[in-house]
Amino acid sequence: MGTPEFSVPALQRLAFESEFTVCLAVTQPDRPKGRGKKLMPSPVKQSALELGIEIFQPEKINSIEAAEKLLSLEPDFFVVAAFGQILSQKILDIPQIYPINIHASLLPKYRGPSPIQAAILNMDDLTGVTTMVMAKEMDKGDILISRSTPVSEHDTAEDLHERLGEIGADLIVNTIHAILKKECFPIPQDHSKASYVKMLKKGDGRINWNLSSRKIQAHINAMTPWPGAFSSLGNKHIKIFKAIAMEPPFPFDPGIIFLCDEDGIHVSTGKGSLVIRELMGASGKRLKAKDFLCGHPIALPVKFDF
């Protein structure tokens, strides 16, 4: 059960494992996308079609019809990775062994829907993936196996998303093998150490220039590719994709663009400055800062609205 790109490596790895049979891929219904609002399949559906795996796309996974469909397969395991719907206890009770979730954090840290972005926002040195036995309460299930990976100050959510998806794919295969060999047993989480992260909204991408340059860089990385870090310059909406934090102090208020050069667009922050390297304006094209400036010269000094 999965929907976005994060889920695809796990599906592929399980499908290629000779000792396993993936009898069904459950994913969200096709959704309208793009300017034409054309119905588009999820990445998991596209992958399942290529693998020749039967696909099930219920609007509501907890419906009677969905339960009957899943029961009829008599599965040993559910594997859930960013599916996008909450499973009821009735559904969780269907697998004969375990329903297992692949969660992109080192639980009990960052329970909830945006753990990848949280690790970058909080400038963590490490994050990882945890497999756990699913419980009715979100991400509170017993832990099976965890794997960690370092977080670079240059990692975007897109970078980490891809890396953790691959780690999760290896981890779920190892987890199921270990369970079947009786080498892995569920361990309860320490709920006193739990933290939660909320679903991101478009407005979460707005940059607060009062923060330090390092925190703003982390914010930009965490919001890339979605919802995108942004600010307003006059009446223009500017989306920022890549920026580098600089530590030296500058005698300007936060949000002031005080220099444009070969390195990029220099902005003063609450502490230090930020050099914007890649951005997008009204043209809708992601550009290097020097290319952006060729078509959109900036009269200095000017201040971002925030």
The pLDDT tens digits for 134-181 are 999 999 999 999 999 999 999 999 999 999 999 999 999 999 999 999
* Assigned CATH topology for domain 5-193: Rossmann fold (3.40.50)
Q: Is the peptide bond before 108 cis (omega within 30 degrees of 0)?
A: yes
Cβ-proximal residues to 81 (8 Å cutoff; 6+ apart), any chain: 1, 2, 6, 7, 10, 101, 102, 168, 172
pTM: 0.94
DSSP string, 5-41: GGGHHHHHHHHH-TT-----EE-PPPEEETTTTEEE-
- pLDDT at residue 156, as a whole number: 98
- pLDDT at residue 2, as a whole number: 98
| The token pair that represents 8 in the structure block | 């695809």
Asked if 305 contacts 230 with a C-beta cutoff of 8 angstroms, the reply is no
- pLDDT at residue 36, as a whole number: 82
Task: Check the CA dihedral 247-252-255-259 and report its sign.
Answer: negative
- pLDDT at residue 249, as a whole number: 72
**Pairwise CA distance, residues 172 & 261, whole Å:** 48
**Pairwise CA distance, residues 289 & 199, whole Å:** 30
User: Which of 67, 142, 153, 55 lies closest to 103 in space, CA to CA?
Assistant: 142
- pLDDT at residue 191, as a whole number: 96
Cα dist. 279→13, 190, 228, 251 in Å? 36, 42, 10, 25
Q: Which residues of the chain have pLDDT under 50?
A: none
- pLDDT at residue 276, as a whole number: 98
What percent helix, strand, coil does the chain show, rounded to 5?
30, 25, 45
Class of domain 202-303: alpha beta
- pLDDT at residue 247, as a whole number: 82
- pLDDT at residue 306, as a whole number: 85
- pLDDT at residue 222, as a whole number: 98
Asked if 164 contacts 116 with a C-beta cutoff of 8 angstroms, the reply is yes
- pLDDT at residue 283, as a whole number: 81
| The token pair that represents 14 in the structure block | 């399980």
Q: For the chain, what are the domain ranges?
A: 5-193, 202-303
Domains 5-193 and 202-303 share a fold: no
- pLDDT at residue 251, as a whole number: 86
| DSSP letter assigned to residue 57 | -
